[in-house]
Amino acid sequence: MSLKPLEHDRKYGELDQVVRAYLGLRADDTAEARSEALDAYLRHTWHTRPWALATAEAQLREYAKNPPGRLRLRLGEFYPVPDVGLADSGIQEWLLVLADHIRRSVESGEVPPSSAPRTHWEWHARFPELGQLLGGWFSQDMPDEFADHEAALQDYLTTTDPALTARLTGELHELLALRLDDTACAEALAALGMEVDPPAPYGPAAWLRAVADLLATPGP
């Protein structure tokens, strides 16, 4: 039988976060250099959950040293490492390389410089509620479901818990504080799941600012 959620998280929860940071990217870490994906994981985790780094290092090392045997594979009681473009024979060595890099980062205090997110995983890890809004209400199906952008936003606001809309407000201001130009802002919105253009006459950054201003305005 498959792993129960608590057992999965206890044994593999943070390992899963590390590996998912690689989806769509190259697992090209070496003993001397970290990949873009690992830098993204470290940059975000250092600033949000630094205590999780020790757990990640331990889970990576344990899985690499004790991969699932035939019985666990047959029963499904194991964590299946997603496809990161490596041969099965290279997975264990790669996981140990990641564990070594994370350990060095923790022991030396060396943190990737703060910056705007650089990977799909990092955008969603840093702006989860904005990703929920854009991917859920501003996908390519939006014109078929809502009269316009304002109607889609109002539907989100009326069906979403106020605590989450407050979180969205904070994420909008955090994204705007990055001061991205319109090209970079459009790329950020696309990474977060938006599949339609902002409404005329707004550019991407101006539309985000308008949404942020609307959310900051007290209701009647």
Task: Determine the pLDDT at residue 83.
Answer: 86
DSSP class of residue 146 equals -
Model confidence, pTM? 0.89
Question: Kindly report the CA angle at 98 between 97 and 103, in degrees rounded to 5?
Answer: 100
Asked whether the beta carbons of 54 and 62 are under 8 A apart, the reply is no
Please give the structure tokens belonging to residue 137: 């209400």
Alpha helix (H) residue ranges in 160-201: 162-177, 182-191
Please state, in angstroms and rounded to a whole number, the distance separating the CA atoms of residues 118 and 7: 31
Task: Determine the pLDDT at residue 71.
Answer: 44
Task: Determine the pLDDT at residue 164.
Answer: 96
User: Consecutive sets of 10 residues in the chain, 220 residues long: mean pLDDT of each?
Assistant: 74 93 94 96 96 96 80 57 86 95 96 94 97 97 96 96 96 96 96 96 96 80
Sign of the CA dihedral with 167 first, then 169, 170, and 171 last? positive
Task: Determine the pLDDT at residue 182.
Answer: 92
Task: Determine the pLDDT at residue 69.
Answer: 57
3-state secondary structure of 25: coil
Is the peptide bond prior to 82 cis by the omega test (within 30 degrees of 0)?
no
Asked whether the beta carbons of 41 and 18 are under 8 A apart, the reply is yes
